[in-house]
Amino acid sequence: MASALRTEVLRLYKTLLFLGREYPKGADYFRDRLRAAFIKNRDVSDPEEIRQLISRGEYVVKELEALYYLRKYRAMKQRYYENE
Amino acid sequence: MAARVLVGVKRVIDYAVKIRVKPDNTGVVTDGVKHSMNPFCEIAVEEAVRLKEKKLVKEVVAVSCGPQQVQETIRTALAMGADRGIHVEVSGKDYDTLGPLQVSKILAALAKKEEASLVILGKQGTFASEVTIDGDKIKVIREIDGGLETIKINMPAVVTADLRLNTPRYATLPNIMKAKKKKIASVKPGELGVDLTSRLEVLRVEEPAQRQAGVKVETVEDLVGKLKEAGRI
């Protein structure tokens, strides 16, 4: 894989790993699924396909951030905005 | 352009953690428990950073009071976009008794010292759901019973953040790395002329009463019977 793409993939992996620490089902659960997903695609060599996989990974990052935000928002609303 | 925004960030037990009362009922278990920035402080930081991005303020300073660990919280604020941090060193007994009165004196002294035009804090009291800066005044929309109220206030001012003010950004890894270069200054409350003695004493801490299990009834007669039993009717 081209060196530039390789850096991007590694960066994506590190970002997901970092985000996974707060995963509701546990950081270990997340890390195992994350590794499995990346290992499954380790032999992909077509740059276009790699870019698509990276985009999918970035989508997951956005989904995780949204998930975390909604959980927090819901908890705060329940605790502090009882009368609404 | 308004010079400086001061944002208070508090290190609290993470919202998702189940809180436990210490066996001796003197307080809550904090050792080894996950801590993070108070979610309302996140909203406050986000608002301050957005004001800077809109070029309405020049500098965002994050402040936290407490022991060494609060520097992690200040770092999170820096990763979200604050320019520098101030750590007000309070530890041990002083930290246990640190209450709103002492913190507000500290923040007031800092706001004066740093010449902050605006202080944004997490939720307490009245809350802003929208903040804009119009010349040398701040326009705040806040929620009140029955609707919204728009007010214009002079600076320096203190604004507190409502849950709906904004959606805080996530502190991403690259930003966390960049934030390591930003400065956090340490200051002692004595240097600010603040006396930390508390006028309050915690006598006892207890868990809230357990919720009673509900009882299911089959018919209306059963319901009436149960209510009579409980002396309700």
Averaged confidence pLDDT in chain B: 89
Q: How many domains, chain B?
A: 1
Beta-bridge partner residues of B153: B138
- pLDDT grade for A84, boundaries at 50, 70 and 90: low
DSSP A14-66: HHHHHHGGG-TT-HHHHHHHHHHHHHHTTT---HHHHHHHHHHHHHHHHHHHH
Looking at residue B205, which CATH number applies to its domain? 3.40.50.620
Does residue B174 have a cis peptide bond before it, meaning omega lies within 30 degrees of 0?
no
Structure tokens at B103: 């913190």
DSSP symbols for B29-98? --TT--EEE-HHHHHHHHHHHHHHHTTSEEEEEEEEEESTTHHHHHHHHHHHT-SEEEEEE--THHHHT-
pTM over 0.90: no
Q: pLDDT value at position B184?
A: 96
pLDDT tens digits, one per residue of A35-49: 999 999 998 889 999
Q: Which of B163, B170, B177 to mutate to test the interface with A (most CBs of A within 10 A)?
A: B170
Q: Which residues on chain B place their C-beta less than 8 Å from a C-beta of chain A? A: 15-16, 39-40, 123, 163, 167-168, 170, 172-173
Interface ipTM: 0.84
More confident residue, B78 or B229: B78
Contact B173 A18 (CB under 8 A): yes
Determine the residue among A13, A21, A72 to mutate to test chain B binding: the one whose Cβ has the most chain B Cβ atoms within 10 Å: A72
pLDDT tens per residue across span B21-51:
999 998 899 999 999 999 999 999 999 999 9
Range of the domain at A73: 2-80
Does A77 sit within 8 Å of B163, measured CB to CB? Answer: yes
Residue B170, min C-alpha distance to chain A (Å): 7
CB contact under 8 A, B172 and A15: yes
Total number of domains in chain A: 1
pLDDT in tens, B100-141: 889 999 999 999 999 999 999 987 555 777 888 887 888 888
* Rg of chain A in Å (alpha carbons): 16
The whole domain housing B59 covers: 4-230
Strand pairing class (B137-144; B11-13): unpaired
Provide the number of CB pairs (under 8 Å) joining chain A to chain B. Answer: 25
Which amino acid appears at position A42 of this protein? R
Name the nearest CA neighbour of B172 among B78, B91, B89, B97. B78
